[in-house]
């Protein structure tokens, strides 16, 4: 795929999560023709190539977190020299909790050609299987390891209206689900997706309390993706119920107009209506 003289291209490609048959024709072609393959794990890349019957002709180098920055200069040199550089991770889409975004940012800063061969992603696959509303969602990467950080992170998701997707290791799953049930509520819906697209794929759906109990009963093995349903919408409080909060702020020295604005924005009500109610119900 060498471009010869002139500028080459940086190509990021999604690889199968588990079943090699999910590889696209474009991925197969790129694996066999790229001048350079930057692989998160070179052994896994060669195993995938063998499973797909692809003869790799390009230079294969490792490209994992610890060496990603050091590999950048030479990979960019390759693109400038007219070569095609293919970036792949162990499974799924590069740059999604895997190496990739640094080289994309560096290439884009020089206006070098960058493209993507779309394909499998544990994030979207888990969303499809979770059975929760997923019109809007956010991806949180890996859950924090330490208890305090994990609790603060989950507390920030209490009011999150979007579905939440995150990765977790098998040996921390039970503890994370137990804390999630405590912080977010045992009735919050979720799903644990294990070994997606592989022989022992399993998807557990249900309230967090139930999922926490299941995970605590025994070891859960494999690669784990967790999906949390978004928080249920809450009705805005009545204007009348907020008048007291406004007058408390005024009593503390705040101007009525400023107090109304602060309370209205926090509660999601109209400032004009709250102002009128506060005027009509001044303390005697």
Instruction: Calculate the alpha carbon distances from 137 to 112, 164, 165, 192 in Å.
Output: 31, 6, 7, 16
Q: Is the pLDDT of residue 5 over 80?
A: no
Could you tell me what percentage of the chain is helix, strand and coil, using 3-state DSSP and rounding each to the nearest 5? Answer: 45, 20, 35
CB 97 within 8 A of CB 64: no
Topology classification of domain 123-228: 3.30.950
Q: Where are the domains of the chain?
A: 9-120, 123-228, 239-280
Does position 237 have pLDDT exceeding 90, yes or no? no
- 123-228 has the same fold as 9-120: no
Give 9-120's CATH code, choosing from 3.40.1010.10, 3.40.50.10860, 3.40.50.920, 3.10.20.600.
Answer: 3.40.1010.10
pLDDT of residue 148: 92
Residue 267 pLDDT: 81
**pLDDT tens digits, residue range 116-168?**
999 999 999 999 999 999 999 999 999 999 999 999 999 999 989 999 999 99
Task: State how far the alpha carbon of 41 is from the alpha carbons of 54, 65, 71, 171, 184, in Å.
Answer: 17, 11, 14, 23, 37
Listed in sequence order, the residues at least 6 apart from 105 whose beta carbon sits closer than 8 Å to its beta carbon are none
pLDDT grade, residue 269 (50/70/90)?
A: confident
Model confidence at 255, in pLDDT bands (50, 70, 90)? very high
Residue 4 pLDDT exceeds 50: no
Q: Model-level pTM greater than 0.75?
A: yes
Task: Report residue 255 as tokens.
Answer: 């101007």
Cα–Cα distance for residue pair 261/283, rounded to 1 Å: 19
pLDDT in tens, 9-32: 999 999 999 999 999 999 999 999
Check whether 3 has a pLDDT greater than 70. Answer: no
pLDDT band at 93 (very low <50, low <70, confident <90, very high): very high
For residue 284, pLDDT over 80 is answered with no
Are the CB atoms for 141 and 235 separated by under 8 Å?
no
Residue 243 buriedness (CB in 10 A; 0-12 / 13-18 / 19+) = buried
pLDDT for 202 equals 97
């Amino acid at each position: 795929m060498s471009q010869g003289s002139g500028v080459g291209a940086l190509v990021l490609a999604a690889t199968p999560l588990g079943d090699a048959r999910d590889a696209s024709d474009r991925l197969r072609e790129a694996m066999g023709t790229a001048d350079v393959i930057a692989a998160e794990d070179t052994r896994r890349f060669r195993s995938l190539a063998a499973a797909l019957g692809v003869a790799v002709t390009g230079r294969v180098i490792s490209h994992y977190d610890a060496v990603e920055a050091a590999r950048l200069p030479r990979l960019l040199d390759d693109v400038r020299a007219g070569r095609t550089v293919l970036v792949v991770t162990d499974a799924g889409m590069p740059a999604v909790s895997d190496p990739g975004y640094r080289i994309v940012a560096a290439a884009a800063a020089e206006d070098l050609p960058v493209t993507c061969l779309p394909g499998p992603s544990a994030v979207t696959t888990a969303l499809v299987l979770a059975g929760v509303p997923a019109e809007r969602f956010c991806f949180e990467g890996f859950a924090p390891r330490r208890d305090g950080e994990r609790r603060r992170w989950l507390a920030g998701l209490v009011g999150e209206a979007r579905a939440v997707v995150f990765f977790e290791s098998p040996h921390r799953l039970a503890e994370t689900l137990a804390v999630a049930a405590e912080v977010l509520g045992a009735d919050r819906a979720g799903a644990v997706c294990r070994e997606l697209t592989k022989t022992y794929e399993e998807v557990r759906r249900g309230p967090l309390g139930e999922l926490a109990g299941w995970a605590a009963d025994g070891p859960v093995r494999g690669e784990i993706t967790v999906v949390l349903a978004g928080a249920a919408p809450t009705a805005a409080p009545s204007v009348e119920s907020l008048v007291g909060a406004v007058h408390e702020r005024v009593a503390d020295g705040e101007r009525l107009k400023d107090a109304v604005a602060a309370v209205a924005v926090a509660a999601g009500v109209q400032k004009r209506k709250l102002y009128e109610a506060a005027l009509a119900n001044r303390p005697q």
